[in-house]
Amino acid sequence: MSWIKNRPLSFVLRVQLLLTLVVVIIFASLSDLQGAVSAVLGGMVSLISSAVFAIIISHHRGYTADAAIRTAIRAEIVKVGLIVILLWLVFKNFESVNAFAFIGTFILTVLAHSMALFVSDNIKTE
C-alpha cells in the first residue's frame, strides 16, 4: 500500500528524484564531492517537502469543495514551513555547502512540483 495515492503527485516525486540524481551526477563529474553533496541536499529539501504535501493530499477525506480547499491550503502551509526549516537546517549545519549547486537543484525540483498540473489522474485501460 502506497502512502501517496495521488497519481500526479507520485509522478512528480519520481521526476524530482530523477532530476536530483541527474544534477548530482553532473556536479560529481564536473565539480567536487561538495558540489554533489550540496545538490543532494537541495533536491532532498524539495523532495521531502513535496512528499509531505502529497501524503497530506492523499489522505484527504471529504467530497465538498470547501474540504478540498482546506486540505490543499493546509498541505501547502506545511510544505512551505518544512522548506523554510530544512533550508535553515542545511545552511546552519553545513558551512561548506556549494550555494549554486544547493539552490540550483532546489529551484529545479521545486519547479518540477508544478508539473503535477499537467499529469492526468485518469488511467485508461483497454
Domain that holds residue 45: 7-118
52 occurs within a structural domain: yes
- Give the number of domains in the chain: 1
54 occurs within a structural domain: yes
Distance between CA atoms of 11 and 16, rounded to whole angstroms? 9
Distance between CA atoms of 14 and 8, rounded to whole angstroms? 10
pLDDT digits (tens, 9 = 90+) for 28-86: 999 888 999 999 999 999 999 999 998 898 887 777 888 888 988 999 999 999 999 99
* Full-model pTM: 0.83
Q: What is the pLDDT of residue 20?
A: 94
Q: Are 15 and 122 within 8 A, CB to CB?
A: no
